Amino acid sequence: MYILDDINAGTWAMGAASRCWLHHSLLALSGSLNHQLLVLNGDPVTLLPKLASAIGAQHIVWNRCYEPWRIKRDKSLKERLREQGIQADSFNGSLLWEPWQVLKEDQTPYKVFTPFFRKGCVRAGEPARPLGAPQTIHVATDNRKSRLDADQQKLIGATGIHALALLPTINWDTTLRDTWQMGERAAKQRLDEFLTAGLQGYREGRNYPQRRNVSRLSPHLHFGEISPRQIWHAANAAGSAAAVENDLNTFLAELGWREFSYSLLFNNPELPHKPIQARFTNFPWTSDQTLLSAWQRGQTGYPLIDAGMRELWQTGYMHNRVRMVVGSFLVKNLLLHWHAGEAWFWDCLVDADLASNSASWQWIAGCGADASPYFRVFNSVTQSEKFDADGDYIRRYVPELAELPAKYIHAPFSAPAQVLAAAGVTLGENYPQPVVDLKQSREAALQAFKATQG
């Protein structure tokens, strides 16, 4: 059974890109279960007890979730079911370790990643090995199924995957669908491809958006199509066999950052809204819808920023190095609140995960746990020159600059007029002038930061 719960989710109901993924993921899951998956829409706290009574269920189990709203909901659900004499249990299916397992010696949560991962996670023991698939799954008999369908109609009306209306009414998701394959089979295939062709060289290659050294497993992990245990043990085996220990350790540490984000959210339920470092509460953020819109649409005049934001819009994904650069640009060059970036990513990412999204935006804004120092401002031009030297990534997502030579593609505003003309680029017409000056905006950000130090 799958229940779409937009009621308890409130502000954090899934964004548009995630809903597209969910639609196709549910189709794949249902197909793998011989179309025996029951899909409902509503509040599980109301639906599950009624449906349990309708089919005579004695025991209900589910995979545990760690978002604050889900913890609150599931606690109420367990109480309601147990009041009816129904056994209710939840299990860890999405993390390597439970957040309450990874604590310092004084039993307080970690606030710095390296000791969290190198000490806390190691002390918690090796992640459990995944179990094999069950030989058989016993579903309700035809009799009970017919009875349940009738009760369903009384309880919630139309149901089923298509009735959830997860797909957009305007057909903007074509490129997104062409970019990804959803479902468990696709997740396993993606893992195999990464371990074969991407793990070797991962430590350095993961920084270059045009290289194959990224796993692209995050949406599969987010939707439970593959578990971190499967990835952890498969990567360990592949990395050891190929003798690429440095690459393996770096990749496992990235799984560790995911765990750290969940630990932060579990121990700081206000993480999506409130900075961990209290001094940022009164930070003098600006509010400029024109600048925000330019950033969202990939029209800032800085090619790496624009390429990243267009990749996000078209595919529901952005390379991690580029995520850091576009995030830094938003909060430190445009001085716009990290909440604006958090909300835009939430709607546009297929791997929009409340823990990782919130922790990452606080990290780049300098206000979170073990955060990047606020005075560290990523320069989008130098980052572009270093990690996309030939401009291949930019040419892919900013095609109006495709004819510019590599020397100028990272900063078209510095190109001579004849070079721009030869490439068919007219700044201010078919590609924008920079919306801010990098040096001046960096100085303004540092001055704003000083205001928080008093």
Query: Is residue 228 domain-shared with residue 316, that is, in the same domain?
Result: no
> What is the structure's pLDDT at 158?
46
Instruction: Express each pLDDT in 189-226 by its tens digit.
Output: 999 999 999 999 999 999 999 999 999 999 999 999 99
Active site residue 295: no
CATH of the domain at 217: 1.25.40.80
Give the pLDDT mean for 271-291: 94
Query: Is residue 392 domain-shared with residue 417, that is, in the same domain?
Result: yes
For residue 200, what are the domain limits? 95-127+183-267
> What is the structure's pLDDT at 147?
53
Residue 273 lies in a domain: no
> What is the structure's pLDDT at 372?
76
Query: Is residue 218 domain-shared with residue 89, that is, in the same domain?
Result: no
Residue 152 pLDDT class (50, 70, 90 cuts): low
Query: Is residue 291 domain-shared with residue 424, that is, in the same domain?
Result: yes
Give the pLDDT mean for 271-299: 95
In the chain, what's the furthest Cα-to-Cα distance? Answer: 79
One of 62, 98, 184, 285 is an active-site residue; which one?
Answer: 285
Instruction: Express each pLDDT in 63-108 by its tens digit.
Output: 999 999 999 999 999 999 999 999 999 999 999 999 999 999 999 9
Query: Is residue 86 domain-shared with residue 113, that is, in the same domain?
Result: no
Minimum mean pLDDT among 143-152, 194-203, 408-417: which range? 143-152
- Which DSSP helix (H) or strand (E) runs through 314? helix 303-315
Global pTM reads 0.94
Residue 422 lies in a domain: yes
Helix (H, G, I), strand (E, B) or coil at 60: strand
Query: Is residue 303 domain-shared with residue 340, that is, in the same domain?
Result: yes
One of 12, 69, 97, 257 is an active-site residue; which one?
Answer: 257
Query: Is residue 321 domain-shared with residue 380, that is, in the same domain?
Result: yes
Measured between alpha carbons, how far is 300 from 315 in angstroms, rounded to an integer?
19
Active site residue 62: no
Query: Is residue 304 domain-shared with residue 417, that is, in the same domain?
Result: yes
Residue 418 pLDDT class (50, 70, 90 cuts): very high
Residue 170 lies in a domain: no
One of 254, 385, 400, 403 is an active-site residue; which one?
Answer: 254
**Exposed, middle or buried by CB within 10 Å (0-12, 13-18, 19+), for 89?**
exposed
Domain total for the chain? Answer: 3
Query: Is residue 324 domain-shared with residue 386, that is, in the same domain?
Result: yes
How far are the Cα atoms of 32, 321, 328, 393 from residue 92, in angstroms, in the given order?
Answer: 22, 30, 34, 38
Is the pLDDT higher at 442 or at 35? 442
Residue 204 lies in a domain: yes
Is the pLDDT higher at 132 or at 422? 422
One of 62, 320, 400, 403 is an active-site residue; which one?
Answer: 320
Residue 272 lies in a domain: no
> What is the structure's pLDDT at 149?
57
| Mean confidence (pLDDT) of the chain | 93
> What is the structure's pLDDT at 143?
52
pLDDT > 80? residue 288: yes
Active site residue 320: yes
Query: Is residue 25 domain-shared with residue 99, that is, in the same domain?
Result: no
Residue 176 lies in a domain: no
Query: Is residue 67 domain-shared with residue 151, that is, in the same domain?
Result: yes
Query: Is residue 349 domain-shared with residue 445, that is, in the same domain?
Result: yes
Active site residue 361: yes
Residue 178 lies in a domain: no
Measured between alpha carbons, how far is 71 from 50 in angstroms, rounded to an integer?
21
